[in-house]
């Protein structure tokens, strides 16, 4: 027997109009590319989104069209999110930090008809346009005065100007595609993940919950994670759903700019990858400055190091909440929220527990499996392939029917993890980054974390490279804070942190480490570069 409730589809435009009805005066604060701060309340923001919707329809945008953005976290980018999905088209966020050939591949593969471009990326886009025959219009996300010269460029504010702020959003099925994001593609070509209205809204509901990110009308939330990376982890939707104040940092992601914005706007929740927090903490340390409003820092994308969890707590009274997920999961999978039990623990014990990536959020089911396909016990010790399923996990990659995504109802995340009896999951490594030495596994993440506890180590990266005797052995690369690192001292220190046979055969100090376009250490590049390091050392 079927239930007898209204079968109404919830759409992203419903979210926008709800936010206006319930929180019209709530603000969206945005840093423009010239550094100035602009504020719109939700009433004005919705009017501008409706004007953009009308302007896009005037450009003959039709349902299902892909419209790409190459843009920072700003109010205009947010308006594009709502206007494009609202009319049944697809907002395709492109990561401008990718190599030009990857961006071109992505735009060609998605067949975007329109590009919305921040002024920072105009030169790069102009160079690509001759190879993008499907692109009909390019719109600069700028004021009229800053519009780039050249006939091809339309001006965003010019398009909005004169449009009516009233608009009746079209209705359609909630499984309709709303947004498209390509994975960063460290191996092979990037692959597209196509989110629906339904998956986006369910994900936003899950993200708002107190036992997930925890957002309400009293929150002032700053997504430092870019809106071109998995829709800024869903915050642009979750914040409007919760009636939270949204603070968008624009292009200025350096420590000084972020700390100024956090303090001035009294942000209490901020989200981002470890690399940006490293920059912020270094700046604050150098200035001898403490943050006064930040209460929660949500860290994901890569493992949050112990030293970072400790410093945020001890110096800034901010709780680091580890979150885990991936592009294919919209991205939220698990969060390590501050429970009363956790907060009652002595500090150092608590920090250790905060290293866990937390428990599954409601709606997302995760399980660990042995390579033979058997599920593994939840004892905190056994580790294996982490697989997930849920209404915001992809079923297929976009236009890549030949790439299998789901098997036996599970999506294999490519991560190796353990889960304990309370459901806390811990990422041991990416499957391809685990180091196999003499038949035993070594976690590169645990070794990196251990090294970051040694004074003066700013960044650490461990890779497994071929070894004539042990199959693979770890090699550690470190960046020093300021003065050179005492390598012998670090080795001594590591002996007390990890099993003896885990100790890297070599520790090298380097001046920089390569990162991927989403801020992760690019271990593939390093593995290639150092491939023969141990072979060459061995006679």
Catalytic residues: 183, 328, 436, 441
User: Least Å distance between CB 212 and ligand AMP?
Assistant: 14
Among 327, 330, 354, 443, binds ligand AMP (CB under 6 A): 327
Of 456, 462, 452, give the one whose Cα is nearest residue 428: 462
The token pair at 181 is: 């994001």
- Please identify, using beta-carbon distances, which residue of 88 and 226 lies nearer to ligand AMP: 226
Q: Is 54 helix (H, G, I), strand (E, B) or coil?
A: helix
Residue 226 as a binder of ligand AMP (CB under 6 A): the answer is no
Q: Closer to ligand AMP at the Cβ: 132 or 298?
A: 298
- Of 40 and 520, nearer to ligand AMP (C-beta) is 520
- Tell me if 415 contacts ligand AMP by CB under 6 A: yes
Residue in 148, 391, 414, 456 binding ligand AMP, rule: CB under 6 A: 414
Neighbours of 484 (CB within 10 A): 8
Q: Is 184 in the site for ligand AMP (CB under 6 A)?
A: yes
- Which of 156/228 has CB closer to ligand AMP? 228
With contacts defined by CB under 6 A, name the span among 126-134, 323-331, 469-477, 530-538 that binds ligand AMP.
323-331
CA neighbor of 335 nearest in space, from 183, 209, 184: 209
**Helix, strand counts (H, E) of the chain:** 18, 26
Answer for which of 107, 222, 326, 452 binds ligand AMP (CB under 6 A) is 326
Q: What are phi and psi of 208, to 5 degrees?
A: -65, -30
302 forms part of the interface with ligand AMP (CB under 6 A): yes
Which one of 208, 427, 462, 490 is in contact with ligand AMP (CB under 6 A)?
A: 427
Question: Is 11 exposed, middle or buried, given 0-12, 13-18 or 19+ CB atoms closer than 10 A?
Answer: buried
Binding-site size for ligand AMP (CB under 6 A) equals: 21
Q: Checking phi first, is residue 337 left (phi over 0); if not, alpha (psi -120 to 50) or beta?
A: beta
Nearest to 160 by CA among 75, 240, 233: 75
Q: Which of 88/333 has CB closer to ligand AMP?
A: 333
HSE (side-chain half, CA atoms, 13 Å) at 353: 20
Q: What is the dihedral of CA 467, 469, 471, 473, to 10 degrees?
A: -50
Q: Does 430 bind ligand AMP (CB under 6 A)?
A: yes
Which run of H or E residues covers position 461?
A: strand 457-467
Residue 20 CA, distance from chain mean position: 27
Residues 501-520 that bind ligand AMP (CB under 6 A): 518
Task: Find the binder of ligand AMP among 163, 183, 330, 437 (CB under 6 A).
Answer: 183
Part in contact with ligand AMP (CB under 6 A); list of ranges 51-59, 105-113, 238-246, 300-308 = 300-308
Binding ligand AMP (rule: CB under 6 A), the pick from 322, 359, 387, 467 is 322
Sign of CA dihedral 512, 518, 519, 521: negative
Q: Indicate the residue among 249 and 301 with the shorter CB distance to ligand AMP.
A: 301
273 in Cβ contact with 520 (< 8 Å): yes
Q: By CB under 6 A, name the one of 190, 214, 223, 300 that touches ligand AMP.
A: 300
Among 55, 160, 202, 230, binds ligand AMP (CB under 6 A): 230
413 binds ligand AMP (CB under 6 A): yes
Residue 243 as a binder of ligand AMP (CB under 6 A): the answer is no
Binding segment toward ligand AMP, per CB under 6 A, in 1-9, 236-244, 284-292, 296-304: 296-304
Tokens of 344: 């009652």
Report in angstroms the alpha-carbon separations of 418 from 171, 185, 436. Answer: 43, 26, 17
| 303 lies in the site for ligand AMP, by CB under 6 A | yes
User: Shortest approach of ligand AMP to residue 45 CB, angstroms?
Assistant: 27
Query: Among residues 430 and 458, whose Cβ is nearest to ligand AMP?
Result: 430
Which H or E element spans position 195? strand 192-196
Q: What's the min distance (Å) between Cβ of 250 and ligand AMP?
A: 22
Which stretch in 56-64, 285-293, 326-334, 416-424 sits in contact with ligand AMP by CB under 6 A? Answer: 326-334
Least separation in angstroms between residue 325's CB and ligand AMP is 6
Helices within 321-375 (DSSP H only): 340-343, 347-354
Enter the tokens of residue 437: 């030495």
Q: Closest Cα to residue 142, out of 250, 20, 26?
A: 250
Cα distance between residue 91 and residue 203, in whole Å:
17
Task: Return the number of the residue (194 or 303) whose C-beta is nearest ligand AMP.
Answer: 303
Residue 69 vs 257, nearer CB to ligand AMP:
69
Q: Are 366 and 333 in contact (CB under 8 A)?
A: yes
Helix (H, G, I), strand (E, B) or coil at 205: helix
Q: How far apart are the first and last CA of the chain?
A: 75
x-marked contacts with ligand AMP along 344-363 as a string, rule CB under 6 A: -------------x------
Which one, 213 or 427, has the nearer CB to ligand AMP? 427
Minimum distance from residue 249 beta carbon to ligand AMP (Å):
19
Residue 445 C-beta: closest distance to ligand AMP, Å: 7
Q: From start to end of 90-176, where are the E strands?
A: 90-93, 114-117, 137-140, 153-155
Residue linked to tokens 């390590």: 336
Binding site for ligand AMP (CB under 6 A): 183-184, 230, 300-303, 322-327, 331, 357, 413-415, 427, 430, 518
């Amino acid at each position: 027997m079927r239930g007898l409730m209204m079968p109404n589809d919830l759409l992203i435009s419903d979210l926008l109009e709800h936010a206006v009805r319930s929180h019209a005066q709530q603000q969206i604060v945005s840093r423009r590319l010239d550094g100035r701060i602009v504020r719109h309340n939700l009433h004005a923001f919705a009017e501008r989104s409706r004007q953009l919707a009308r302007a896009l329809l005037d450009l003959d945008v039709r349902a299902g069209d892909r419209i790409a953005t190459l843009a920072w976290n700003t109010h205009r980018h947010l308006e594009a999110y709502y206007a494009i999905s609202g009319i049944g088209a697809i907002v395709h966020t492109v990561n401008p930090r990718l190599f030009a050939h990857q961006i071109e591949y992505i735009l060609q593969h998605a067949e975007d008809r329109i590009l919305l471009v921040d002024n920072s990326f105009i030169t790069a886009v102009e160079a690509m346009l001759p190879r993008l025959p499907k692109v009909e219009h390019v719109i600069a996300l700028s004021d009229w005065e800053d519009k780039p010269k050249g006939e091809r460029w339309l001006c965003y504010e010019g398009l909005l100007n004169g449009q009516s702020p009233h608009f009746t959003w079209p209705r359609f099925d909630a499984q309709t595609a709303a947004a498209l994001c390509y994975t960063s593609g460290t191996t092979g070509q990037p692959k597209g993940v196509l989110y629906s209205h339904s998956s986006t809204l369910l994900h936003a509901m899950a993200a708002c919950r107190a036992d997930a990110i925890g957002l309400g009308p009293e929150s002032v939330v700053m997504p430092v994670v870019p809106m071109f990376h998995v829709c800024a982890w869903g915050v642009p939707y979750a914040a409007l759903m919760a009636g939270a104040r949204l603070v968008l940092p624009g292009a200025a992601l350096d420590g000084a700019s972020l700390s100024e914005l956090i303090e001035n706007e009294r942000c209490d929740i901020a989200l981002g990858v470890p690399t940006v927090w490293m920059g912020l903490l270094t700046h604050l340390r150098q200035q001898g400055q403490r943050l006064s409003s930040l209460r929660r820092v949500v860290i994901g994308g890569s493992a949050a190091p112990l030293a970072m969890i400790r410093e945020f707590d001890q110096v800034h009274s901010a709780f680091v909440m580890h979150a885990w997920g991936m592009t294919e999961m919209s991205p939220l999978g698990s969060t390590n929220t501050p429970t009363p039990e956790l907060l009652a623990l002595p500090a150092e014990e608590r920090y250790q527990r905060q290293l866990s990536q937390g428990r599954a959020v409601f709606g997302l089911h995760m399980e660990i499996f042995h390579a033979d396909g058997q599920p593994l016990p939840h004892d905190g010790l056994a580790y294996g392939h982490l697989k997930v399923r849920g209404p915001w996990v992809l079923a297929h990659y976009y236009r890549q029917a030949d790439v299998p995504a789901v098997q036996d109802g599970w999506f294999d995340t490519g991560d190796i993890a353990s889960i304990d009896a309370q459901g806390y999951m811990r990422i041991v490594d990416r499957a391809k980054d685990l180091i196999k030495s003499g038949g035993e596994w070594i976690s590169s993440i645990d070794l990196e974390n251990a090294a970051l506890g040694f004074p003066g180590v700013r960044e650490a990266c461990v890779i497994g490279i071929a070894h004539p005797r042990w199959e693979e052995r770890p090699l550690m690369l470190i960046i020093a804070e300021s003065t050179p690192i005492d390598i012998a001292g670090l080795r001594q220190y590591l002996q007390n942190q990890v099993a003896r046979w885990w100790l890297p055969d070599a520790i090298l100090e380097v001046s920089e480490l390569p990162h991927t376009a989403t801020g992760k250490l690019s271990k593939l590049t390093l593995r290639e570069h150092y491939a023969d390091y141990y072979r060459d050392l061995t006679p």
